[in-house]
Amino acid sequence: MVRIELYTNRGCGACVNAKRLLDKKKVTYEEKRLGSTKRIDMEFRIRTKGSKTIPQIFIDDEWIGGFEELLKYDQANELDWRLGLSERPHVSFLTRVFRRLTGKIY
């Protein structure tokens, strides 16, 4: 089973959109609301290397990024396999290298 964690905050439209997308995929996730405890706030700063934007999403302890990155994975047909909903799609070696070098998902 895949573990999904979302760091969110009240009044965040992108957080609502990320949760809607994950709800549409019918996956369970753990929402960690910033400001609810000092532990969550500190954990957020450490895990995201001081990120200033929310939401921030982790799938099986891999930092995915925010809502835009989640959408990019979905548009590239990679989100479902990351969520454990389908088999991993075939991606060419050169595409994987390009993605690693540029940090781009597609």
In the CATH scheme, what is the code of domain 4-102?
3.40.30.10
pTM: 0.81
Q: Which is more confidently placed, 20 or 73?
A: 20
Please say if the pLDDT value at position 77 is more than 70: yes
* Torsion over CA: 94, 97, 99, 102 (sign): negative
Fill in the DSSP letter of residue 92: -
pLDDT digits (tens, 9 = 90+) for 8-64: 999 999 999 999 999 999 999 999 999 999 999 999 999 999 999 999 999 999 999
* DSSP string for residues in 8-44: E-TT-HHHHHHHHHHHHTT---EEEETTS-HHHHHHH
Going from N- to C-terminal start, the domains of the chain cover 4-102
Please say if the pLDDT value at position 67 is more than 60: yes
Helix, coil or strand: residue 49: coil
